[in-house]
Amino acid sequence: MFIETCIAPVNMALIKYWGKRDEELILPINDSLSMTLSTKEMCAKTTAAASPNFKQNRMWLNDEDVSFDDNPRVLRCLKEIQRLAIARSDLKFPIDWKLHVVSRNNFPTAAGLASSAAGYACLVYTLACLYGVENEELTSIARQGSGSACRSLYGGFVRWNMGTKADGTDSLAVPVAPQSHWPNMHVLILVVNDAKKKTSSTKGMKRALETSDLIAHRAKHCVPERIKAITSAIKNQDFCSFAELTMKDSNQFHAIALDTFPPCVYMNDVSHAIVEFVHLFNKILGSTVVAYTFDAGPNACLYVLEENVSQVLSAIQISFPNDAANNVEYLKGIPVEYSKTEHNILNGNAVFTTNRKNLLKYIIHTKVGDGAKKLGKEEALLNPTDGLPMKK
């Protein structure tokens, strides 16, 4: 039996991907740019094994036995990796050997936090290790699992070039700056209480392309400028420009979601209260120290430099009081000391709206991180003797 285990990170888009020019190959209508989050707090972990004894391809996703051969995106990723393996002509094992794949996220999937990006990046990276293919094409293959997954193979700040070729071979992710370039770039993910099922990204962007008048303008005129501007903000560690571009792009993405017919409403009242909070906080401080971005859901991702994290958390606690604030489960991830009671954190001048209690489910404190990585045999999620998932 051949067996490999890898981890891959979550990435959070600063300039959003929204809209495909090719549904099948997952080719976007605009470039996008993201920051990779540390795998310590959030990652997908996958073990893939190949054996002559496996009767069929099988997959277990977060401990659920799911179909492998009925999932076209998974099959496409596998086929593409096998194509690269065959092209190498020194196959590690016969191409018709069946696979067992186990994948788990180390963060609650219910939170709806970019789990497909980490999941597909991890699947593709693990299959590449299993078949022994190291190739620049890997991001193009991960893209065919889920568009945003191509950006999760690299760490730091990553750009996905839309490309122009019809076959998608130039639609690749490329690193912009490594994690070490801006290591004090931290993130607070505010997980909002919300059980409602939203329109998936795949469906939402398809409908946007069919019905929104604004989306073409964004792709043609706004995104190219923003990509250039945020790239230089990152290179210069210019937090203020970085923050403004990130917030504007999040707002524009949600404006397009609302311009879709019927509209896609991803943000809720709590999300809007967070937006208001961020702008007020920056205004009170007289400089931009915190930025928000929202994907296709109500949870907020706040960018804050490390030195400002505790002050932002104290203000969040005042504006979004929570009975669970003293509970260890409320603030997950990187530990941080912050005041939960002080009402005058900003020299007595702060006047925050106090929202209703318990609007946030919990907060994850994380930071910029590295890309996909191979792990040792001892980390396997599959039992190497029977090829079945290890008990947790």
Report the interface residues with ligand DP6, using CB under 6 A. Answer: 13, 16-17, 26, 32, 116, 146-148, 201-202, 295-296
Minimum CB separation from ligand DP6 for residue 6, in Å? 20
Considering beta carbons, is residue 16 or 361 the nearer one to ligand DP6? 16
Q: How far is it, in rounded angstroms, from Cα 392 to Cα 71?
A: 25
Minimum CB separation from ligand DP6 for residue 57, in Å? 21
Considering beta carbons, is residue 297 or 387 the nearer one to ligand DP6? 297
Binning the chain into helix, strand and coil, the percentages to the nearest 5 are 35, 25, 40
Minimum CB separation from ligand DP6 for residue 19, in Å? 10
Q: How far is it, in rounded angstroms, from Cα 43 to Cα 55?
A: 30
Considering beta carbons, is residue 149 or 290 the nearer one to ligand DP6? 149
Residue nearest to ligand DP6 (CB): 147
Amino acid identity, position 344 = N
> Rg of the chain's alpha carbons, rounded to an integer?
21
**CA quadruple 112, 80, 63, 47: dihedral positive or negative?**
negative
Minimum CB separation from ligand DP6 for residue 3, in Å? 28
Considering beta carbons, is residue 85 or 162 the nearer one to ligand DP6? 162
Minimum CB separation from ligand DP6 for residue 246, in Å? 12
Minimum CB separation from ligand DP6 for residue 365, in Å? 21
Question: What's the distance, Cα to Cα, between the start and end of the chain in Å?
Answer: 22
Considering beta carbons, is residue 62 or 202 the nearer one to ligand DP6? 202
Q: How far is it, in rounded angstroms, from Cα 225 to Cα 68?
A: 41
Considering beta carbons, is residue 13 or 188 the nearer one to ligand DP6? 13
- Asked if 291 and 244 touch (Cβ cutoff 8 Å), the reply is yes
Tell me which residue of 325, 264, 326 sits closest to 295, measured CA to CA. 264
Q: Is 51 in a helix, a strand, or coil?
A: strand
